[in-house]
A and B are shown apart, each in its own frame.
Chain A
Amino acid sequence: MPAVGNSVARKDGIGKATGSAQYADDISFPDMIHGRTIRSTIPRGRVKSIRFDFDRAGFTIVDYRDIIGRNSVDLIEKDQPFLVETEVRHMAEPILLLAHEDRERLNAAHVEIEYEEQKPLFDPEQSTEVFKKIDIVKGDVASALAAADIVVEGTYRTGHQEHVYIEPNGVIAVPEEVEGRKGVAIFGSVQCPFYVIKALRCLFGEHPPIRVIQTETGGGFGGKEEYPSMIAGHAALLALKSGRPVKIIYDRTEDMVATTKRHPSIVRHRTGVMRDGHIVAMDIDVLMDGGAYVTLSPVVLSRGCIHAAGPYRCDNVNIRGRTVFTNTPPNGAFRGFGAPQTQFAVEVHMERIAEALGMDSVALRRVNALRSGDTTATGQTLREDTSAIMVLDEAVRRTDFLRKREQYKGTNRALGLSLFYHGAGFTGSGELHLKSRARLELTTTGVRIATGSTEIGQGTRTTHAQIVSDALGIPYEDVEVAQPDTARVADSGPTVASRTCMVVGKILEKCAIEMRLRLNGLTPAQYHAKHGAFSVEQMYEPPDWIKWDDAAYRGDAYATYGWGCDVAEIEVNPDTFEVRPLKLTAVQEFGRPIHPALAQGQIEGGTAQGLGYALLERVVMRNGAMANSQLTNYTIPTTLDMPEVDVVMMENPYPGGPFGAKGLGELPMDGPAPAVVNALRHLGLDVREVPATPELIASCTAAA
């Protein structure tokens, strides 16, 4: 029986269910002390003075002057400091680090900081500091708009979203000696150990040996993609100065206030459409609030803009994107990475276009949905693995959408639909630039996978082992997966962008094929006994047909796309305006599932996060920081908030993926918010933003 395509026993073992799995805060080292971050209490200004109002005996204190390399978190730009020098650009910006072995003394230490305050900028629409501009041009939008039968305009907004991984950020930095040189090992809850290496190299220079080891990670969702570089740098600074292991674990409030969130967006559509439903022009303006430093905003904007026209064909498209500075904690990666924002906008806009035409919105989508051979906004010609119509048809059929929607008219129940897609892997030439590698090592009993890809609950260990098992032709039980330790594994690129199974899995497949040839019929045990160990390392080769022009933003944006159609069935309480989701149907095509149960879990979980985004999760900003920074006040869905989720996994293999698999992790995030808001529209509620809170819905209805 092949491993791929079956829900085999997971490589995680039973530790997560017995409590023995080791997350960062479960681990201790001899002589370990605790670290704390002293953060700014103003959103903009300069530090005038710092005074320590406590007995400093036993404390390690670090400020920017302790940095021997460069005080920059090296990501896309080097604009974000690890520690404030004088200029403060956001609330909760790290200024100083303290460490002590006694946590009470550590927490009681009072640092008095005097600031010269300046007027902060919070409104992205007022911001003139642009981190990145993108302009996607196809055809002639101006003429097409002029020639259109009608033009429909609309502005749509999405707010911040907080990841709420149930395990907050945490790391332990442990000084270690490597070949006589003083170095440091970082153990921590991270998605991208090699990103942390890159950032620490900048912070410390080339000299100290540094390695990063991923501990069992209690959720990431993008919130541990780039942020851990900051906390790891802090812990390392304290560890190297004190000579002792330093543990920094954020409590929930600090994590919510100080770390990254999903970029808020404002998206404006002007769409030219003909009476028969053909969309002839799409003019789209995308604005994203990046917060105080660049971090990953350019790439979030990029993905958002590329998906902004939705899964639709149109000969004339202009998408203008900007991501701008505000004096708020920097926003960053969050599952979906720009696409949930822009696809929310386009899918709600599609309903309004249908209304304006007097046309059924399913029919409107059917007319305009992308098919094989069509070109996207960036001019990419879609290949056979294009499934917009397939998922749309299935979702409509399965939910009896047309009949039920009609039946619900005049009641307080409604159905809403969203059609969406999600590019898998890094954009354009991104995968080429990453030069991701994977390594397979022969052992005495089988093989060991040595990649930098991290298990964060999505099934990395298991799906990689399944792919190797089948490609190599050895039992699944004989494949082990090394814990990601940057000193011992290949740099497979970050665990993000729905690439871990599709891209890194593909490299592993290549490794397995090469190893199989070399084994030449022997089992690994036999080969090892006869010839000893060997390893195979390969680099990712993107499909040779991918052509992408980064300057013009044209060409093949992604090697392949996942496709989805969600239908939300909801009920609105006429007294309280609360929305009760009754059922959510998620039809998703992602090549084919490597592990069906894990894949279903991705869809069910992503759908829950999407429902939270749609209805429940609101970040309240006051004076440039999250005011509702407790789980009491930032509300993610509980069991009682979740409706039945009906998952349909459809197949349309991607030839470039391992065993036909495409990326999946982010696709489910794009569908729920527009599906829910489109259901509200069918109740006559003109909602154009999320979260669609009861307060917002109440304001959409006239007082009785």
Chain B
Amino acid sequence: MSDPQSRIAEIVNANDVVLFMKGTALFPQCGFSSRAIAILDRLGSKYETVDVLQDPEIRQGIKEYSDWPTVPQLYVRGEFVGGSDIMMEMFESGELQELLATAE
């Protein structure tokens, strides 16, 4: 098994839109993750999710990967976009729609 950082790099590069979160899209386990899912669903974009609660290595590793201390974290085409606060601001300004439109 490869190290967590390579596994994370593989995931973010293999998926155009991927959200690292607590729980699943259907059953988010944290209010912030729930908010991130609500935004993505609202935009109707296709996305993958990774439940960090199922994998302690990814849970710790994702914080180091992006130098970002919290989950959820959104990645679009391999680039870290931000957490749920930034997602909300970008959603309200229309930037997130634009970014996701280019990913499809």
Do A and B come together as binding partners? no
- On B, residues with C-beta under 8 Å from A are none
